[in-house]
């Protein structure tokens, strides 16, 4: 997942992050609160998300684009969010994560973004022709 953020002055920054999701609407990732994208979210929670397969041959790939609101996850809700993240991590050969892994001493925080719309690019030759996607 590529996460696009901006600082208080509007300077853009994008970061690839490993993520887990719930119903393609709610996205979770771990980051240092000192990372540029984390500092940006603290002052400007509006983010852009792009998810795509970078290994797809030229002209065959498809991605989904989402505006979202992001935040650091804290109690209540941290246990559920960590369960979601751990499930995906374990499915990819990673480890289980707990709330203790994202406490003050760890240097990591769990972040969440909720997408309010989804779109894909049309393959009709027009530049940036987006098609809304209804997940309902």
Q: What is the CATH number of the domain that holds 12?
A: 2.30.110.10
The pLDDT of residue 74 is: 85
pLDDT beyond 80 at 122: no
pTM of the model: 0.90
Domain span including residue 21: 2-133
The pLDDT of 79-108, averaged and rounded, is: 94
The pLDDT of residue 20 is: 98
User: Total structural domains in the chain?
Assistant: 1
In whole numbers, what is the pLDDT of the chain averaged over residues?
92
pLDDT band (50, 70, 90) for residue 17 = very high
Residue 99 CB burial class (10 angstroms; 0-12, 13-18, ≥19): middle
pLDDT beyond 80 at 86: yes
The pLDDT of residue 7 is: 98
What is the per-residue DSSP string for the chain? -EEEEE-TT--EEEEE---EEETTTEEEEEE-TTSHHHHHHHH--EEEEEEE-TTSPTTT--EEEEEEEEEE--SSSHHHHHHHHHHHHHHTT-----GGGGSGGGT-EEEEEEES-EEEE-SSS-TT-EEEE---
pLDDT beyond 90 at 9: yes
The pLDDT of residue 129 is: 77
């Amino acid at each position: 997942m590529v996460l696009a953020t901006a600082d208080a002055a509007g300077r853009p920054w994008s970061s690839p992050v490993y993520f887990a999701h719930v119903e393609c609407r709610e996205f979770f990732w771990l980051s240092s609160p000192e990372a540029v994208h984390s500092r940006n979210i603290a002052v400007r929670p509006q983010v852009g998300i792009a998810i795509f397969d970078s290994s797809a041959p030229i002209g065959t790939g498809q991605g989904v684009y989402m505006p979202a609101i992001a935040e650091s996850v804290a109690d209540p809700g941290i246990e559920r969010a960590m369960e979601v993240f751990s499930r995906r991590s374990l499915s990819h050969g990673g480890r289980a994560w707990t709330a203790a892994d994202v406490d003050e001493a760890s240097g990591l925080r769990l972040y969440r973004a909720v997408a309010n719309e989804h779109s894909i690019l049309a393959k009709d030759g027009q530049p940036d022709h987006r098609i809304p996607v209804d997940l309902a």
